[in-house]
Chains A and B, each alone.
Chain A
Amino acid sequence: MHIPDGSIVLYQAAVYWLIAIIFIARSIKWARSDLNEDMIPLFGVLAAGMFVLQTINIAANLLIPLPVLGGISWHVVGAALVAIIFASPWAAVLLITLVLAVQSLFGDGGITVMGANILNMGIIGGFFGYYSFIALSKLSVRRSIALFAGAWISMILPAIALVFELWLSGTFPLKEGVLYMGIFQGAAGIGEGFITVIVFNAIIRVRPDIIVEEGYKKVSTAKVAAAGIVAFAGLAIAAPFLASGDPDGLQHTTSLLVKDNVYRTISPLFSGYAIPGMGKTGEITAIVIGFAAILILWFGASKILRTADKRK
């Protein structure tokens, strides 16, 4: 998962560094003030523990008993875990940054690309892992399922982001990358999910005071929605590049069955999910417009439902 030096072009690596630095600065501010105490020394010590627990390699065979996987192992990242325990994604950004910095000295992840690695594992993993957990908790999903999902998302989204970064540098093709990394990290995410549930339950038994248990109730829905919108918007921008030019199964079957122009008579707003004459930009715009339309409908529906509720 750690990108090595040389595989990302320098100016792009600089952009990722810039994003990472902004987030790191904010995370330090969080460690200083959000807990009403200057907790920086504590996090420094905890980062050492995080580094060491990431050296525990777990054989892939343990989860998926296939002989092919012999020799392959993964380790826990814990971005979602720490974000959930400290009820803030900034904890993940801070701790993962420290761990990655020391790991780079071991040759695990490069120096110019450390910004990209922090962006993937700390920022994307931490934020989306955390907010998926919060969103599911708000929907009263069982805690262990919400934890598992949060941890899984904190593994799969960084993998997709990583493939995009490599693709932008021309180092790896997008579709194949997403497929392979998706399979690999998807499997590793299952392990991360199980471990996160076990660790969270163990910590809550031993030190319930560390964990803000009902913390999710305090997180405003707007924040969760914002995280969701960012995630979906990211995927919307990514989708056109990933989509296959071949017709999907349903279209193919229809074209086999219906020889005449039945389904051509219904002309959709954006045929083929694209705006003619605009290329990829058109496809992205079409998806974003579609997405915005869904959001407006969703907000509208929830408002109507809420007013209906109040009238009762």
Chain B
Amino acid sequence: MHISLNELERESFRKSLVHRIDGRAKILMTLVIVVYAVWLPRMDALNFQKLAILETYLVALLLLSRLEFSYIAIRFAIAMPFGLGLAVLQPFLRQPFIPEYTVLFMLPFGLSATREGALFGAIIFAKFLVSITAVILLSSTTSLSELVASARRMGMPKEMALLFTMMVRYLFVFSNMLGRIRRAQKTRCFELLNKKVPRIWTLNQIGYTISSMFIRSYEQGERTYQSMLCRGYNADGHVYVGRKNLRISDVSFLVLTAGIIIAAQMSLNMGFYT
């Protein structure tokens, strides 16, 4: 189960209200929401309702952007393991910053789950969920090249801009190249866990695939670099990025997002958690 770059690009080229919003506005929204979510206190039951408001807003935007459901589901499933794992373990750990614990239930081997640990784990998960939803929304509704162009318009240093421009330009080339290598291997019945060949042979084949990818991308880099030099590239050069003014819809989107965050922060205890 994985998402290929092509699938990511396919989704980000759909047409919807959210897709049309300027990349800068979406980058800013993602950063502000993620930083806000992470900034919330570690142990406060009120976090849930604040994060729930944000999550509802993000999910509404996801629905508005008319992405394929299975695509979003897979993207969430891929992002989950580490964050979910860390959260699930929390009830069984003793966090040093919590003064007292109430034991919920005991398990064999001296393990026990605590109420405070469970709360902390749930908060970690909620923060993680909001952050990941924001990132998925951003990357599914903005193409990679648009992201880089927006970052440049937002004042990213020109060296970084050039690096990311080149990277994004060739990501798809190399991803397709790896696809071809894999297809070629498959037609020759190459299998990772084939018991009929020694493991060291399989490991060598993987090593050669990686070497081949490395050398091919290095040589592509050389060719690109030399052709840039031929066209007069030097360190003082700028990569042209067209001016683009923010529209009223982009600004109102930002105002709406800011309003939602302020509303979430000011919201009173609605009794999600007692």
Contacts and interface: CB of A to CB of B under 8 A. Distances in A.
A112 interface: yes
A207 B212 CA distance: 11
Contacts of B218: 42, 45-46, 49, 207, 210
Contacts of A51: 167, 171, 174
Interface string B75-97: 10011001100100110011111
Interface stretch (A127-135, A137-145, A170-178, A245-253): A170-178
A49 B38 contact: no
Nearest to B85: A4
B225 interface: yes
A43 B263 CA distance: 44
Contacts of A202: 207-208, 211, 215
Q: Is the interface of A mostly helix, strand, loop or mixed?
A: helix
B214 A112 contact: no
A31 to B, nearest CB: 8
B163 A98 contact: yes
Contact of B207 (A39, A104, A106, A199): A199
A56 B37 contact: no
B131 interface: yes
A52 B38 contact: no
Contact of A52 (B139, B169, B171): B171
Given A49-B174, A194-B203, A106 B139 contact: yes
B175 interface: yes
A7 B178 contact: no
Interface in B129-166: 131-132, 135-136, 138-139, 144, 147, 157, 159-160, 162-166
Contacts of B187: none
Interface in A101-124: 101-102, 104-108, 110-112
B173 interface: yes
B219 to A, nearest CB: 8
A46 B171 CA distance: 10
A136 interface: no
Contacts, number: 235
A42 B135 contact: no
Interface in B173-189: 173-175, 177-178
Contact of B131 (A2, A5, A197): A5
A44 B211 contact: no
Contacts of A101: 164
A275 interface: no
Most-contacted residue by chain A among B3, B97, B132, B210 (CB, 10 A): B210
B3 A106 contact: yes
B6 interface: no
Interface stretch (B28-36, B99-107, B251-259): B28-36
B13 interface: no
A31 B96 CA distance: 43
A303 interface: no
Contact of A44 (B78, B162, B193): B162
B86 A7 contact: yes
A41 B96 contact: no
A220 B173 CA distance: 40
B42 interface: yes
A199 B211 contact: yes
B224 interface: yes
A63 B147 CA distance: 39
B68 interface: no
Contacts of A98: 163-164, 167
Most-contacted residue by chain B among A3, A53, A203, A206 (CB, 10 A): A53
A87 B164 CA distance: 23
A48 B222 contact: no
Contacts of A39: 225
B19 interface: no
Contacts of B82: 2-4
B224 A172 contact: no
Most-contacted residue by chain B among A41, A61, A198 (CB, 10 A): A41
B225 A4 contact: no
B207 A50 contact: no
Nearest to B81: A4
B78 to A, nearest CB: 6
Nearest to A173: B93
A276 interface: no
A9 interface: yes
A111 B135 contact: yes
B132 A107 contact: yes
Given A41-B228, A42-B224, A107-B136, A199 B214 contact: yes
B135 A62 contact: no
B83 A7 contact: yes
B193 A62 contact: yes
A223 interface: no
Contacts of B2: 55
Interface in A136-174: 166, 170-173
A206 B174 CA distance: 19
B269 interface: no
19 contacts: A2-B82, A6-B37, A28-B157, A28-B160, A38-B235, A41-B224, A41-B233, A43-B163, A44-B221, A45-B218, A53-B209, A65-B199, A106-B8, A107-B132, A112-B38, A170-B97, A172-B89, A194-B203, A198-B208
